[in-house]
Chain A
Amino acid sequence: MRLVAVIAVAGMAVAAPAQAQGVDAQIEALTERVERLEGTRAVKKLQRAFGYYVDRGLWGEAADLFADDGTIEIGIDGVYVGKERIEEYLRRLHGGQQGLVYGQLNEWVTLQPVIAVSPDGQSAVARWRDLGMLGQYKQHAEWRDGIYENTYVKEEGVWKIKDLRLWVYFVAPYAEGWARLQPGEGLTRSQASMDFPPDRRGGARYRSFPGTLITPFPTAHPVTGRGVEEHH
């Protein structure tokens, strides 16, 4: 213990902040770093669980991943606020029933996370890639390409989805592929959104493929620390 004190004094003498910290302060700082690492992993689980639940038509379980004032916005469908509205929107988006119907393909493959947990460890933003395999057997089949830009919040130790935004870049018929999409074909407002209007209009309309869409990056460039648009 005396050795620790000597080291601490020596540390202070050379003004090296890490060594100058007492053991308690160092533990505190390490704990915060570990909590942020845990936060990254919790956010991964959360978003992947969302994909797995929606895949199988578990609308209630998917909605329960959100904070009470959480929101969801998919494509140009507008914003739905709160768990109940999110659950009902997801249900109607998939035909109105609990679960899937025979022959319904609904894979929301969720990939390539970039996650930034806030310095205080209480919130996070993440970007994900969406690769959707959708369809109804013998009727139609589609590829979907999209980008999630989501925020998360930690409430009483539990991570939840705060805002989920899926920028659908295109939904393309499997047979024809994305290369034959005409302007406007790749993104339409869902029937669910028209029959069950959102709580508020979403962000500005945007151009789907074959237009060019660069969704805003919530995190700075990992090397330069600047916004991406500042690189032009």
Chain B
Amino acid sequence: MRGLALGLSLLAALAPMHAQAQSAEARLAAYAERVERLEDEDAIENLQATYGYYFDKGLWDAVADLFAEDGSFEYGQRGVYIGKQRIERALLLFGRLGLGPGRLNNHMQLQSVITIAPDGRTATARWQGMVMLSEPGANGVWGVGQYENAYVKERGIWKISKLHFYVQAMADYDLGFGRGALRLEGPSALFPPDRPPTEVYRAFPSGYTPPFSFVHPVTGEALPVTQPADDVARPK
């Protein structure tokens, strides 16, 4: 890496007029790429926010259509569903199409950190997901977690290639986070996932750090994450 950098700076020293010497065409092409990366970020922000709005309302067919053909969906400890058809059916585990009366399924999509690959064909993003739930005859539920997602641009259109919601905490509304922490649901027996959970963990009051898709914005380093010991999943 250092050798490359040295080589580049040497090159720059030998050709100090490099940028100016570029043709207007080449400079425009470079600008166009930078503009396209900004457009990509906006498109991904819209895509993921739209996912949330559709998911809120149980528009499962529209949700599934946001995924690439071989896209994957993973929510908490429910396991991984692969492919649009499988995802659409798995989404029915969250309520019927269009939801029913008395069902609240709010999944906010907040606080994005989006990273577009240098070639502009793929991207990753982390999002904060606050959750408000309810179903008839039961207490309300508050939840929170983080998304670590991947995206792919196919024929100019961004799609979700991987959605992974790391549910961090779920709590009974009346008791609150301090007293009413709920366990995560495991894989469905009704419609088992294609793969078990990619990472096993317990929600709050245990803590789990979803690995970061983005490098540290200042140091440029990837962050190593250390997960807490767990008597069953990660004994000391």
Contact = CB atoms under 8 A, between A and B. Distances in A.
A12 interface: no
B138 A214 contact: no
A115 B46 CA distance: 7
A30 B39 contact: no
B134 interface: yes
Contacts of A231: 59, 61-62, 65
Interface stretch (A85-93, A106-114, A151-159, A194-202): A106-114
Interface in B27-79: 28, 31-32, 35, 38-39, 42-43, 45-47, 49-50, 52-54, 57, 59, 61-62, 65-66
A112 B108 contact: yes
Contacts of A129: 52-53, 108
Interface residues of B, number: 48
Given A114-B46, A127-B53, A145-B132, 15 more contacts: A7-B23, A30-B31, A111-B108, A114-B50, A145-B104, A178-B134, A179-B140, A210-B103, A211-B101, A212-B57, A212-B98, A214-B59, A221-B66, A224-B65, A232-B98
Contacts of A131: 108
Interface residues of A, number: 39
Given A4-B23, A37-B38, A178 B140 contact: yes
A211 B132 CA distance: 16
Interface string B109-146: 11000000000000000000000101010111000000
A33 interface: yes
13 contacts: A37-B38, A37-B42, A112-B110, A114-B46, A131-B108, A177-B134, A209-B104, A210-B101, A210-B103, A212-B57, A221-B66, A222-B46, A228-B59
Nearest to A175: B174
A222 to B, nearest CB: 5
A223 interface: yes
B148 to A, nearest CB: 18
Nearest to B51: A222
A217 B46 CA distance: 13
B174 A177 contact: yes
Interface centre among A4, A147, A212, A224 (most CB of B within 10 A): A212
Nearest to B154: A223
B35 A34 contact: yes
B155 to A, nearest CB: 11
